[in-house]
Structure 1
Amino acid sequence: MPVVKFIKEKKEIEVPVGANLRREALKAGINLYASGEGILAAFQQAVANCHGLGQCGRCRVKILKGMENTAPMGLVERTHFKCPVPTPVTPLALDPVPRLAYIGNEDTMRLACCTTVTGDIEVETTPEMNLFGENFFS
């Protein structure tokens, strides 16, 4: 059985071949969603979360090792990361952050809800974003 290693959480889980990364992570108690505390977090979880339909982009993860051990990116995932506006494929994708997070991480960024695990991988949950690029003038 493939092993998924979550770097930030320092946790490894065994998953069946062909398992959905989001589903298995949530079963293991791993939080894939970056959110605050209190009412804002509850709002984000209830309203701004597509619950695994590939629409919101909040379950984005970085595959640090073993990208070849995941299924290729599907239409929903490609559209979500590469189109700047909501489309018929991703009608709820109002948040530009997933597209911005994808820049510079094209080879490693995935949506956990759209990722099928076929072998051992290492995953970074809630990856950091650099919205300002390199500071070339300092």
Structure 2
Amino acid sequence: MPNTFSMEISAIYMALCGILLVLLAAQVVRGRWQYRVGIGDGDNRNLNRLIRVHGNAAEYLPMALLLLLAVENTLGAAWPVHALGSLLVISRLLHAFGLGKSAGSSLPRFLGTAGTWAVMLVSAGIVLAHSF
């Protein structure tokens, strides 16, 4: 276990996910302008989907990124953090693409969800395994 706190690597993935959240939020704003809905979804299925794409990312990313940061500080090795961080970013992009195209199930949405959960579970496992 490293003796100092580090976030040099996980900060890269925090920044990338922050940019993704802003881009997804911009899609919601664009949808609100397009459908002339100031709050809520106005019973518009397309706007609702845009809101959920952003909301889903906003729900999962904070914990996933905190776990990534914990892995960086637990292991002190760069490659697992890069592997998990890359999988997280790719997974969230896949999920956003899949859900953005259809509210139904799709391969990108499934892979995005599975990848996100995998990052979280593996990260939690690493942290717990090294905590005892």
Same fold (TM over 0.5): no
TM-score (norm 2): 0.27
| Structure of greater relative contact order (alpha carbons < 8 Å, 6+ residues apart) | 1
Q: Which has the higher strand share?
A: 1
More helix, by proportion: 2
TM-score by length of 1: 0.26
